[in-house]
Amino acid sequence: MIKIWNAFSSNNSSSYRMIARFADAAVASDAAAALTAYLEAHAAEHVDDLHGEASPLQVLAKHYGFDWEDEGWGSAGDGPHVILEGEILFVYHRYCTGLGPGIAAFLNERGATSGDDTWADVQISVVFRAAHGVDPVLDNELEALFAQPRESAIYKSPPFRVPWCEIETRGKAAFYRDAGTVGLYFPVNPPGIALVKQWLAGHGIEGASIQFDELADEQLFNALTAARCTACTGPLEYLDPRLHDIESPQLVCKPCGGLYELAAFVG
């Protein structure tokens, strides 16, 4: 049976990525190893030509019965790359017209829930503890981050830049910082995830929560920035289950002792 794969892409090449989520990290690791082994074996067999019908993306698509019009065109030296983060696996290609249906079928066969391949950068959510004034360099870098555009996905708009590397990305951004916690939501390409973790480690930050494509965090972080105590109008401190041993998020006014449900500020 031939299956038709429709992808929403143009004739222009770009970077593409796909996120595959697994039930646990061990299963994800096995799938990453299997996909990496396939890509390496295919590259060794087709040293001189990895385009068109010889593309590993096209071969996988045909193996699973798909008729894929793009035929796996892309620059072989730019991917696809397999990047593993716990129970989440990223497939990333720096320059192609799409990853095609074969990659998703390969991973889903091994227990993944895979999203569509897309040119959009990954939205990363980073939440960690960091008090003001303890690390002046971190404070300055966070100020530089907070000054970045909240919307950079629009064509020809200024890109999103980070202080720890020169990689430019595009997407949406939202931030909050209270007395003890920082929340960052911004676009990153999969190879840049390791650089984010290096930046955190360089500032001695441990126990940070890192999640991917948690799209609700954009609204959440924006709401936290504006949240105020109804009694004293002071800023509230956010307690997130990602960092605290609590079942549901809470907002606290330490001077007043007031405790608020998150729903009071987030619609």
* Residue 80 confidence class, pLDDT cut points 50, 70, 90: confident
Q: 256 in a domain, yes or no?
A: no
The sheet carrying 174-177 orders its strands as 174-177, 181-188, 122-129, 209-212
Residues 8 and 101 in one domain: yes
pLDDT of residue 13: 55
Answer yes or no: is pLDDT of 75 > 80.
no
* Residue 48 confidence class, pLDDT cut points 50, 70, 90: low
Q: 260 in a domain, yes or no?
A: no
Our CA dihedral for 17, 22, 26, 29, rounded to 10 degrees, sits at -20
Token pair in block for residue 264: 């009071």
Tell how strand 14-21 and strand 250-253 pair up: unpaired
DSSP string, 156-187: TSPPEE-TT---EE-SB-EEEE-SSEEEEEEE
**Model confidence pLDDT, tens digit, residues 88-112:** 999 998 887 788 889 999 999 999 9
Answer yes or no: is pLDDT of 74 > 70.
no
Instruction: Report the domain count for the chain.
Output: 2
CB 127 within 8 A of CB 209: yes
pLDDT of residue 133: 93
Residues 89 and 165 in one domain: no
Q: What burial class does residue 90 get, using C-beta atoms within 10 Å of its C-beta: 0-12 exposed, 13-18 middle, 19+ buried?
A: buried
> What value does the mean pLDDT take over residues 47-60?
70
Residues 205 and 145 in one domain: yes
Residue 11: closest CA among 105, 90, 119: 119
**Model confidence pLDDT, tens digit, residues 193-240:** 999 999 999 999 999 999 999 999 999 999 999 899 989 888 899 999
Q: 151 in a domain, yes or no?
A: yes
Q: Which of 114, 134, 149 is the last residue of a domain?
A: 114
Tell how strand 3-4 and strand 66-67 pair up: parallel
CB 145 within 8 A of CB 175: yes
Answer yes or no: is pLDDT of 67 > 70.
yes
> What value does the mean pLDDT take over residues 28-55?
80
| Higher local confidence (pLDDT), 166 or 186 | 186
* Residue 3 confidence class, pLDDT cut points 50, 70, 90: very low
Structural domain range at position 147: 122-227
CB 113 within 8 A of CB 226: no
* Tokens 């990895």 belong to residue: 50
